[in-house]
A and B are shown apart, each in its own frame.
Chain A
Amino acid sequence: DAGVIQSPRHEVTEMGQEVTLRCKPISGHDYLFWYRQTMMRGLELLIYFNNNVPIDDSGMPEDRFSAKMPNASFSTLKIQPSEPRDSAVYFCASSLYRSGQPQHFGDGTRLSIL
């Protein structure tokens, strides 16, 4: 079975540009999570969805960040405008709705803002 699919794998863009990261969760999974990984702060949860509805976005750093899940098989994380401090690896993960079910991660998107 296919795992969580993220695109692009790498993204390099200039400051001020809009960046869109994409995620396809594992089919049948009810939960979708967006994480950011940096050397300084480690892995941080940005937002998560349940059945396409955003449940907790308290980890979204600023209004420049937004996330959507228009259907069960697709989610986007958008940064507009991007800044150099947004450079990080962004992970998408999905899981089944049963307590304690493990989250399955995509390969991540390495984002570099110049």
Chain B
Amino acid sequence: AQTVTQSQPEMSVQEAETVTLSCTYDTSESDYYLFWYKQPPSRQMILVIRQEAYKQQNATENRFSVNFQKAAKSFSLKISDSQLGDAAMYFCAYFRGGSQGNLIFGKGTKLSVKP
């Protein structure tokens, strides 16, 4: 069974600095997708970024980028120029390609941003 592990329950970053959130996953599949979702205190689940496993190029969305290491089964999220509004829970999620299945979520990392 696939699993997703986020080893950092909490992280802190100074405003305008860069922070990296870690995520590892376990799968025997070759076709899959990875996601990062953000959950602010308002509890919305907001899609941050998406990565296809067959693409070697790391996905980027403005200040958010990933470091996707397929062989190591690692999918970290880098937030550059951190802003106060980035404070939230961040969830890493896995989706098996070609399936009609569900997202498998990690336990989340709580990110605090200090002014």
Q: Give the interface SS of chain A, mostly helix, strand, loop or mixed.
A: strand
Q: How far is the CB of A16 from chain B (nearest CB, A)?
A: 26
CA of A99 to CA of B46 in the docked complex: distance in angstroms?
19
Per the CB 8 Å criterion, the residue count for chain B at the interface is: 26
Q: Give the interface SS of chain B, mostly helix, strand, loop or mixed.
A: loop
Interface residue B78 (Cβ < 8 Å from any Cβ of A): no
Could you say which of A45, A100, A107 contacts B44, with CB atoms under 8 Å apart? A107
> Are A93's CB and B47's CB within 8 A?
no
> Are B45's CB and A100's CB within 8 A?
no
User: Which positions in B face A, CB cutoff 8 Å?
Assistant: 31-33, 35, 37, 42-47, 50, 52, 91, 95, 97-103, 105-108
Give 4 new A-B contacts, CB below 8 A, not counting A100-B52, A105-B45: A42-B105, A99-B98, A104-B47, A107-B43
